[in-house]
């Protein structure tokens, strides 16, 4: 081992590997941490507000669709009622003409 030697590149490589293994303690000011946590809470609050606004818009759209479908259904129901009444009136008119002997 007395004649063991390494190059500068090998030394730098080993040094970088050792640096990765070492634990480094970092000191951060508490005010700086509070600022970042406030930002996170603010971002969460903004996201919650956006989600709530989207829910309200979605409910409004669903209610508008429900009203429109009800209107169309009621209109269709009126059409069927009118067609039924027209068929009954036509049947009664033909029956009246048949009974009078006009239609054979």
Within-domain flag for 90 = yes
Within-domain flag for 17 = no
Measure CA of the first residue to CA of the last residue in the chain; give whole Å: 130
DSSP state of 20: H
Residue with tokens 């009203």: 67
Please give the share of the chain, as a percent, with pLDDT higher than 70.
81
Mean pLDDT of 44-70: 89
Closest CA to 95 of 103, 86, 87: 103
* pLDDT of 72 higher than 70: yes
* pLDDT of 59 higher than 90: yes
Within-domain flag for 65 = yes
Q: What 3-state class would DSSP assign to 22?
A: coil
Within-domain flag for 92 = yes
- Mean pLDDT across the chain, nearest whole number? 83
Closest CA to 65 of 73, 77, 53, 75: 73
Within-domain flag for 23 = no
Within-domain flag for 24 = no
Domain, as residue range, for 92: 29-100
Within-domain flag for 85 = yes
Within-domain flag for 80 = yes
Residue with tokens 């969460």: 44
What is the rounded distance in angstroms from the CA atom of residue 83 to the CA atom of residue 89?
A: 10
Q: How many domains does the chain have?
A: 1
């Amino acid at each position: 081992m007395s004649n063991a030697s390494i190059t500068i590149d090998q030394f730098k490589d080993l040094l970088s590997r050792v640096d990765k293994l070492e634990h480094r303690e970092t000191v951060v000011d508490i005010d700086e941490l509070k600022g970042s946590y406030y930002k996170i809470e603010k971002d969460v609050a903004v996201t919650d507000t956006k989600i709530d606004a989207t829910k309200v818009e979605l409910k409004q759209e669903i209610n508008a669709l429900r009203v429109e479908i009800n209107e169309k259904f009621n209109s269709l129901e009126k059409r069927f009622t009118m067609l039924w009444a027209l068929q009954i009136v036509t049947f009664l008119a033909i029956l009246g003409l048949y009974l009078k002997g006009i239609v054979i």
